[in-house]
Structure 1
Amino acid sequence: MTDDIASQEDYWDGRYASTERVWSGNPNGVLVRETSELTPGTALDLGCGEGGDAIWLAGRGWRVTAVDISGVALRRAADHAADAGVGGLISWERHDLGESFPEGAYDLVSAHFLHTVGYMPRERILRSAAAAVAPGGILLVTGHGGFPAWEHDHHPEVHFPTPDEVVRDLELAEGEWEVLLSEEHERVQNDPEGRPTTRQDNVVKVRRLRGAG
């Protein structure tokens, strides 16, 4: 697969079109843990997939802008949101985040497992995500710490940064941000045969200070 925009769109559209459901439909556990106590406001969900996180946030009263590169995923997510009765709280936008980024400022910007095969300027995208956080708002980034145990055909172009690397690459302005969380953790994930395995993930949570920017 080449690195141009069309191939990335085709890759993800093809992956979603190949099956009725790629993901569980449940929200990411880190999102639930780290945002349940926040006052609902505006949220930006980057790489929303089939909409599990966006639907969960909307169900708690957030007004969500949900973004993905795949039109197939976005149409499926919109259907799931309508079925859940929260479609009116979610705006769906198709973006290749390396080329375009949603407008506006948000109380929560969430990026969970923003990885892909092939080239993606992840560090630059996450800096754009930080720039989209409103004063007093939160940026929450969850990523894999490596390939799963069952994946033997590793892609050498894919780099899984540590939490410290994520914080460094955000290039946060001194005195304008507070790092609330930067840690690795283990998570149980089923392999393709349905057997539970342990996988290493990481999470970074930062808050833009009020009056910053």
Structure 2
Amino acid sequence: MRIGVVTFPGSLDDGDAARAARLAGAEAVRLWHGDPDLHGVDAVVLPGGFSYGDYLRCGAIARFAPVMESIIDAARGGLPVLGICNGFQVLCEAHLLPGALTRNQHLHFRNRDQWLKVEATNTAWTNGFTPGQEILIPVKNGEGCYVADPATLDRLEAEGRVIARYINGNPNGSQRDIAGITNEAGNVVGIMPHPEHAVEALTGPSLDGLGFFTSVLRALAGSSAAGSQAGGQQ
């Protein structure tokens, strides 16, 4: 399986995301922001960083990159897409996910290991976890406060689209302790903490982040198997 990792001007964690994909067992394919060709990848990661210098708003310019036009179309067609930190911001700006990420309530940058509770495990990126599982992955953001209007928040809750919540302290003031969400189809996920920084014992703080990358490989393998069975029945 081929996981594409986008590089925008200002991306910081694209190399880490590519390494996490390889550790999970995938082939990492580097995608350039100015090239609309997705090169046949099976899934895409929008990494953390400061795309286009965070000018206007975080992710606001990246949303219009040529590669994003292709990703938006592909995501609406079912391509699994994971947005991490700045990538989560880009997904919201692109309206693939609802809500927005704003300045941390305390107006300080936060960089620490953070406990999360996984809630939705029916997505392409979280199916390897169990509901209620607690995981430890790093968080590092200055504009990671998830906000949305009450109706949107209620809809996310009712539809089971909150994939993870902060526990043992909310690092940025996100409403309802939301750390990550998914779209209705479950193929697009945005998460503010950094699972790609929790994939090796050497750098820690855990191996919990690897589950996001192995989950998408499981989802893709399941889709391939279902497609083969359907083809054989025709």
TM-score if structure 2 supplies the norm length?
A: 0.35
TM-score if structure 1 supplies the norm length?
A: 0.38
Write 1 or 2 for the structure with the bigger share of strand.
1
If asked which structure has higher relative contact order (CA below 8 Å, sep 6+), I would say 2
